A and B are shown apart, each in its own frame.
Chain A
Amino acid sequence: MTTDIERASECAACDETRRRFLSRLTMMLGSIVAAIVAIPCVGFLLGLRKVPRVWRTVGKLNDFQVGSTVNVAFLDSSPLPWAGVTARNAAWLRRISTTDFIAFSVNCTHLGCPVRWLPTANLFMCPCHGGVYYANGDVASGPPPRPLRRYPVRVQTDEVQILASPVPITTEKI
């Protein structure tokens, strides 16, 4: 009996050390498990899909009259099979000569709303906060901080093609 009690009191200190070790070990193992699960999940969530930029045909050369600005729709660079109509994208396309085109993004540089071309007024207007752009895309009035973004356009044989590009995001200049 006495030996037991002695042993217990002798080991009080080592018990404490042992328990401290065990609790640290448990917490560490838990953290490792959490990290093993979290890393792929967070990585998957935060990872952005890299897509190549591709040229999309928006019509035949003869479909466009010199001087007129029209709305064209095209598929984005890499539509997912279930994207449906959300993969569609639009631009304002103007033929400025027999061979040259300008394509404006439809997104207002203020907050991204779709701007509309008013052919008789020669202006782009945004329905959200009333941003107005001149025919060349420069800001005419209202809140937009920047001119309308342009997309690259090219003519391949007799097809007019726009480079499907990301939604332009107006970031702060730092």
Chain B
Amino acid sequence: MRFLKSIWSWFDDVTGVSSWLIPLAKHPVPHARKSAWFYVLGSATLFVFIVQIVTGIALASAYVPSAGQAYQSLTFISGTHFGSIIRGIHAFGASAMVILIGLHAIRVYLWGSYKYPRQMGWLTGVALLFLVLGMAFTGQLLRWDQTGVWSVVIAAEQAGRTPFIGHWLARFILAGDTVGGATLSRFFALHVFFIPALIFFFLGFHLYLVIRNGISEPPQVGRPVDPKTYRAWYSDLLHREGVPFWPDAAWRDAVFGLLVIGTVVVLAITVGPPALGRPPDPSIIQASPRPEWYFLWYYALLSVIPRWSETYVIILGPLLLAVVLVLLPLVAPKGERSPFKRPWAFGIVAFIVWMIAYFGTLGRLAPWSPRLNAPPLPASVVGATSGSVADGAKVFHDKGCEFCHKISGYGGIRGPDLTYAGDRMTPAQMETRIYSGATNMPSYNGNITPQQLSDLLAFLASRRRRPAPPTSANAAAK
């Protein structure tokens, strides 16, 4: 023991570690009282980031960043017991990072903590937010299954909409004319070296600023930030009622961090890593690429906006988001911090959360996607095994109607549900629609024989809630 102590005192003497580490750990922070648990989000993001580094290095030790072999190497990793768990931790850790950095940003925004003197803290945080999203995207891609390959193509097509340099940008993302040998290496370098290097830079800066400017005190109504007096007031606050960060505040970070990482690990073990899709072969056209949940809302948004606005949203949307986030602390550096005095702040956060939740759910459902695997309608639904109604049901499937129109629970949901089409439309109206098509429905003019059409109309007319109204002949007989 004495020997260890003497080693430590020698080390401390030649390095001076304790002379800066101890004051750093014990630096005073505002006594947050009831709000203290709101301060754990940033540190938890950092902890999960460290988990991502560790599991990322473990994965990189077996992953082969070669377009032709990455998939096999991931199949190998997933086949080993610990490999599967590590992949799971890395994947759930990615989700946790996106959630935590989002919550952290929301907390800082609602509390007005981006105001003087912490504007640079906000700006470095914005950079980190975009970098984390960049990691999330490139990471999903490194899974390098079918979805990974098509994600690159979709990203290239989106970049292609940029005016003037679109074509070049798209080729740059693909690393050539097509997806191929060079594509994956580029995203591997981005995910493993380039973006992490930027994250380290901005994270270091971010943490330095937290120490330099101090952590913001919980906001209070009627206590606006005045840049002229704030620093003196804050320093006085710390003198009066500050508590040492270590251990008064740090223990909460530890508790919450353990909770988050514990959840991630438990999910990794119980749920397991995301399954690998089909191999990354662009000639396999049976593909329905979908982004991970954190970009699902954006995928849905692009599907529902008016078509003329698409290019503007693809190009200007992310740009506008960045500009707004950057301008925020610059145009509102002072004044009330309390969200109760900034009610629109609640409104904006509620809107963003609603947008991500609503469009995320919509993206999961993807009503605009034809259900190309919808089976032919069973006889129990059709209500006939022969005759024009049965033939019409076959036409309904063969002509692709069923991929977009649902009948009795079968089929797609892009177009109206036709379970009771016979109640709503006359055969003449149906015929017009089938021939003319619509914005989201192809015209079948010239693409359907008269026999097919009459069968289809007989089938659709038989889709009724009520029995067919009695014809005049029937009525007369009665």
Residue of B nearest to A122 (CB): B447
- Say yes or no: B370 contacts A127, CB within 8 Å: yes
A166 sits at the interface (CB 8 A) = yes
Residue of A nearest to B158 (CB): A111
A49 sits at the interface (CB 8 A) = yes
CA distance A45 to B208 in the complex (A): 32
CB distance from A19 to the nearest CB of B (A): 29
CA distance A61 to B165 in the complex (A): 41
- Say yes or no: B67 contacts A82, CB within 8 Å: yes
What A residues does B85 contact at CB under 8 A? none
CA distance A79 to B181 in the complex (A): 7
The 8 Å CB contact of A48, one of B66, B164, B172, is B172
The 8 Å CB contact of B398, one of A120, A145, A167, is A120
Residue of B nearest to A73 (CB): B283
What B residues does A76 contact at CB under 8 A? 177-178, 180
Contacts A88-B282, A121-B399 known; A143 to B307 CB distance under 8 Å? yes
- Say yes or no: B178 contacts A71, CB within 8 Å: no
CA distance A106 to B282 in the complex (A): 10
What A residues does B286 contact at CB under 8 A? 116
- Say yes or no: B180 contacts A90, CB within 8 Å: no
Contacts A84-B66, A86-B67, A113-B287 known; A130 to B414 CB distance under 8 Å? yes
- Say yes or no: A132 contacts B160, CB within 8 Å: no
Residue of A nearest to B178 (CB): A76
CA distance A87 to B179 in the complex (A): 7
- Say yes or no: B439 contacts A170, CB within 8 Å: no
Q: Which of B148-156, B241-249, B426-434 lies at the interface? A: B148-156
CA distance A129 to B299 in the complex (A): 9
CB interface residues, B 159-212, toward A, < 8 Å: 160-164, 166-168, 170-172, 174-184
CA distance A45 to B431 in the complex (A): 57
CB distance from A126 to the nearest CB of B (A): 8
- Say yes or no: B180 contacts A118, CB within 8 Å: no
B30 sits at the interface (CB 8 A) = no
What A residues does B177 contact at CB under 8 A? 51, 76-77, 165-167
The 8 Å CB contact of A140, one of B149, B288, B368, B443, is B443
B297 sits at the interface (CB 8 A) = no
CB distance from B438 to the nearest CB of A (A): 7
A83 sits at the interface (CB 8 A) = yes
CA distance A62 to B217 in the complex (A): 79
A35 sits at the interface (CB 8 A) = no
B227 sits at the interface (CB 8 A) = no
What B residues does A141 contact at CB under 8 A? 437-442
A123 sits at the interface (CB 8 A) = yes
- Say yes or no: B182 contacts A80, CB within 8 Å: yes
Chain B CB within 10 Å — which of A71, A110, A171 has the most? A171
Residue of A nearest to B173 (CB): A169
- Say yes or no: B442 contacts A140, CB within 8 Å: yes
What B residues does A113 contact at CB under 8 A? 150, 153-154, 287-289
Residue of A nearest to B440 (CB): A141
Residue of A nearest to B307 (CB): A143
A-B contact count (CB 8 A): 189
CB distance from A52 to the nearest CB of B (A): 11
Residue of A nearest to B67 (CB): A86
A103 sits at the interface (CB 8 A) = no
CB distance from A26 to the nearest CB of B (A): 23
What B residues does A135 contact at CB under 8 A? 447
What A residues does B66 contact at CB under 8 A? 82, 84
CA distance A82 to B181 in the complex (A): 6
A128 sits at the interface (CB 8 A) = yes
Contact with A along B434-457 (1 / 0, CB 8 A): 000111111100010000000000
A34 sits at the interface (CB 8 A) = no
- Say yes or no: B311 contacts A166, CB within 8 Å: no
What A residues does B69 contact at CB under 8 A? 82, 84
What B residues does A90 contact at CB under 8 A? 282-285
CA distance A174 to B410 in the complex (A): 44
Contact with B along A130-174 (1 / 0, CB 8 A): 101011000011110100000000000000000001110111101
What B residues does A116 contact at CB under 8 A? 285-286, 372
A59 sits at the interface (CB 8 A) = no
Residue of B nearest to A47 (CB): B172
CB interface residues, B 23-69, toward A, < 8 Å: 66-69
CB distance from A78 to the nearest CB of B (A): 8
- Say yes or no: B161 contacts A83, CB within 8 Å: no
What A residues does B180 contact at CB under 8 A? 76, 79-80, 83, 86-87
A125 sits at the interface (CB 8 A) = yes
CA distance A76 to B281 in the complex (A): 12
- Say yes or no: A83 contacts B171, CB within 8 Å: no
Residue of A nearest to B174 (CB): A167
CA distance A49 to B179 in the complex (A): 12
CA distance A79 to B182 in the complex (A): 10
CB interface residues, B 386-400, toward A, < 8 Å: 398-400
- Say yes or no: A130 contacts B440, CB within 8 Å: yes
Further pairs besides A130-B404, A167-B179: 13, Cβ < 8 Å = A46-B172, A74-B283, A80-B181, A83-B68, A84-B68, A85-B279, A86-B67, A87-B181, A107-B157, A111-B158, A123-B400, A130-B369, A171-B167
23 pairs, A vs B, C-beta closer than 8 Å? A48-B171, A49-B182, A51-B177, A79-B181, A84-B69, A84-B181, A84-B280, A86-B183, A86-B184, A89-B282, A107-B153, A114-B285, A121-B399, A123-B447, A125-B370, A127-B372, A129-B302, A130-B368, A135-B447, A166-B177, A167-B174, A167-B179, A171-B170
Interface residues in chain A, defined as those with a beta carbon under 8 Å from any beta carbon in chain B: 46, 48-49, 51, 71, 73-74, 76-77, 79-90, 106-107, 110-116, 118, 120-123, 125-130, 132, 134-135, 140-143, 145, 165-167, 169-172, 174
